[in-house]
A and B are shown apart, each in its own frame.
Chain A
């Protein structure tokens, strides 16, 4: 039947159209799995590995006579935590050097450190007996000075600082007063220098550097349980991240650029407690928790900060500063009752790009050595 023939044309047309449609959609959608936009992990709470790490560090039981009847304040059993300044309003930032070393950014920083092929690092190792890449566990910066924790068993403290006045203090500490230092270089020459810092070593575990012997002695007191009963500036539950700590409000205010003086003043007025956490296990992500006594003012401050961030972002976009704009893309302020969290992230790729030169220089230097 002629009609049937005509009809069949439509069927053929339909089949062809379906084939064409499938092809178009296949090409249009694209079959490769899409690259996920980098998800940044913000350090917001303790994770299991960090908890284990904190437990492992509870090595020290301070020998303090127990008074029957008085409740025992919970003393930190981690010596470094014990060494931290006590109370509110202090600055103490802990850098987990060991953990950082094994993170991607740590590798990058290592490349930068070893730009010269590792010569200076070798020198330092021979001089001090300490391998910063192996023996250093944590580095703490406080408003009083510097604290280092790790394994300093083979450190050549005596050799380096033997000329200085030193004394034994407490149960396992040795305090060195500020004085001269003699350094023997590998080529046999010696160099003399003067150091204004007082240094204390404790049990081959801690190295304390401060501006005066009394200060370092106070630190040792805290470690050995003779310090004030206030809790340390960083509690055990806050020891998460590759870098963490508390900043005094003044320090935070000083971090802002000079054109934000009004904002800085507001921070001084409103904020009381600023806690910082940085996670560098992948991208570098920072969370700053700002607390104050007046919830409304704190929220207000958060809004202002958020506005300032977005203005900065738009400005960066407008001026073509892509990196800064990308950085600020990840910046946000999250209100949380009487406090707010400021989150900031730097994608790893951006850092890698910046520090790519270190890697190049390192490989050329190492190649030159061999």
Chain B
């Protein structure tokens, strides 16, 4: 276990020295500042009269705070989920390929670290970064909404944690791609493809009628059965944020399923990495 932590620490140290973590923090702080300054919510006697974004009034009907804020929180949860994963794909795509560059990978492989430990350590390091960024961003959002509307909810926070699990699955794919092709762009592309695939997989029940009976529908059904159902996670996050009843049967199982998919992708990466010549 210790070599895994050692590699994770190596990755984190690398991120720190490349000013990556600093850029992360600055970026998230900027987004939070923009949201804090541009969103204005007028609360009247517990009912929401008008909310303003960038000075323009949002046409909302007058309801009590929690009911009226539901769409806002739901939207925030979606933004956190998808925005977070997209940001992670773009920002973290370079870690694995740069680790595998010549001169570096030979040095690492000659160390008493097993190959699967190398990949796992990289995965752990990047996930630590993602978790840290998520915690920071969502805590900021919760604070902003709480201070502005006087209504405190852990909705964005939970959506952020769900996004982390979703990103774990996506990044596992990116890492495995790096063992196949040492290219940051391709890794990011693979991550993006699986994000889209995950969104589609979440809606598979609704999309299946659009396919002709037979090979097409069966193929779609088979493929989306295995893909991580990211949109279902996003909907669950939105539901939780909006205090609406969950549409999925069991969020815990769904989360576990997405995580196990990530592990499966990692195992695939182990298989590929173990026999690769550098």
Q: Which residues of A contact B (CB under 8 A)?
A: 3-4, 6-8, 10-11, 13-18, 20-31, 33-34, 302-304, 306-307, 309-311, 313-314, 329, 332-335
Q: Which residues of A contact B67 (CB under 8 A)?
A: 310, 329
A302, B62: Cβ atoms closer than 8 Å: yes
Specify the chain A residue showing the minimal Cβ separation from B249. Answer: A30
Output the least CB separation between B194 and chain A (Å). Answer: 13
B258, A307: Cβ atoms closer than 8 Å: no
Q: Which residues of A contact B274 (CB under 8 A)?
A: 3, 6-7, 10
Complex Cα spacing A31 to B62, Å: 36
Binds A, one of B97-105, B182-190, B226-234: B226-234
Complex Cα spacing A332 to B68, Å: 10
Is B267 on the interface with A (CB-CB < 8 A)? Answer: yes
- Knowing A17-B264, A311-B46, the reply to whether A303 touches B275 (Cβ < 8 A) is no
Contact of B47 among A20, A25, A26, A310 (CB under 8 A): A310
Q: Which residues of B contact A314 (CB under 8 A)?
A: 46, 64
B257, A22: Cβ atoms closer than 8 Å: yes
B260, A24: Cβ atoms closer than 8 Å: yes
Complex Cα spacing A311 to B67, Å: 12
Is B247 on the interface with A (CB-CB < 8 A)? Answer: yes
User: Which of A6, A24, A26, A314: most chain B CB closer than 10 A?
Assistant: A24
Encoded as 1 (CB less than 8 Å from any A CB) or 0, chain B from 239 to 255 comes to 00000000111111111
Is B45 on the interface with A (CB-CB < 8 A)? Answer: yes
Specify the chain B residue showing the minimal Cβ separation from A329. Answer: B67
For this complex, 27 residue pairs linking A to B, each with C-beta atoms less than 8 Å apart, are A4-B275, A7-B275, A8-B271, A10-B116, A10-B267, A11-B268, A13-B267, A14-B264, A14-B270, A14-B271, A15-B264, A16-B264, A17-B260, A18-B264, A21-B226, A24-B260, A25-B229, A27-B257, A28-B232, A28-B249, A34-B247, A302-B62, A303-B45, A306-B49, A309-B47, A332-B63, A335-B61
- Knowing A314-B46, A332-B61, the reply to whether A17 touches B253 (Cβ < 8 A) is no
- Knowing A30-B248, A303-B47, the reply to whether A21 touches B260 (Cβ < 8 A) is yes
Task: Give the dominant DSSP class at B's interface.
Answer: helix
Output the least CB separation between A347 and chain B (Å). Answer: 16
Output the least CB separation between A269 and chain B (Å). Answer: 19
Output the least CB separation between A1 and chain B (Å). Answer: 9
Complex Cα spacing A329 to B229, Å: 32
Q: Which residues of B contact A333 (CB under 8 A)?
A: 61-63
A17, B261: Cβ atoms closer than 8 Å: yes
A28, B248: Cβ atoms closer than 8 Å: yes
Output the least CB separation between B149 and chain A (Å). Answer: 14
Q: Which residues of B contact A25 (CB under 8 A)?
A: 225, 228-229, 232, 253-254, 257-258, 261
Is B44 on the interface with A (CB-CB < 8 A)? Answer: yes
Contact of A18 among B232, B256, B261 (CB under 8 A): B261
Contact of B225 among A26, A30, A310 (CB under 8 A): A26
A29, B249: Cβ atoms closer than 8 Å: yes
A33, B205: Cβ atoms closer than 8 Å: yes
Q: Which residues of A contact B261 (CB under 8 A)?
A: 17-18, 21, 25
A310, B46: Cβ atoms closer than 8 Å: yes
Q: Which residues of A contact B225 (CB under 8 A)?
A: 22, 25-26
Q: Which residues of B contact A15 (CB under 8 A)?
A: 264
Complex Cα spacing A18 to B248, Å: 20
Complex Cα spacing A75 to B71, Å: 47
Q: Which residues of B contact A307 (CB under 8 A)?
A: 44-47, 62
Within 8 A of A (CB), among B164-208: 202, 205
Q: Which residues of B contact A34 (CB under 8 A)?
A: 247
Is B220 on the interface with A (CB-CB < 8 A)? Answer: no
- Knowing A18-B264, A20-B260, A334-B61, the reply to whether A29 touches B45 (Cβ < 8 A) is no
Complex Cα spacing A329 to B70, Å: 13
Is B263 on the interface with A (CB-CB < 8 A)? Answer: yes
Complex Cα spacing A70 to B116, Å: 97
Given contacts A27-B249, A310-B64, 13 further A-B contacts (CB under 8 A): A3-B275, A10-B116, A14-B268, A17-B263, A17-B267, A24-B260, A25-B258, A28-B251, A28-B255, A303-B49, A306-B47, A314-B64, A334-B62
Nearest first, the 10 closest Cβ-Cβ pairs linking A and B are A30-B249, A24-B257, A28-B254, A310-B64, A28-B253, A17-B264, A306-B62, A25-B257, A14-B267, A10-B271
Specify the chain B residue showing the minimal Cβ separation from A328. Answer: B64
A30, B250: Cβ atoms closer than 8 Å: yes
Within 8 A of A (CB), among B57-106: 61-65, 67
Q: Which residues of B contact A24 (CB under 8 A)?
A: 253-254, 256-257, 260
Q: Which residues of B contact A11 (CB under 8 A)?
A: 267-268, 271
Complex Cα spacing A188 to B252, Å: 75
Encoded as 1 (CB less than 8 Å from any A CB) or 0, chain B from 206 to 226 comes to 000000000000000000011
Complex Cα spacing A21 to B168, Å: 14
Q: Which residues of A contact B47 (CB under 8 A)?
A: 303, 306-307, 309-310
Complex Cα spacing A217 to B46, Å: 52
A27, B253: Cβ atoms closer than 8 Å: yes
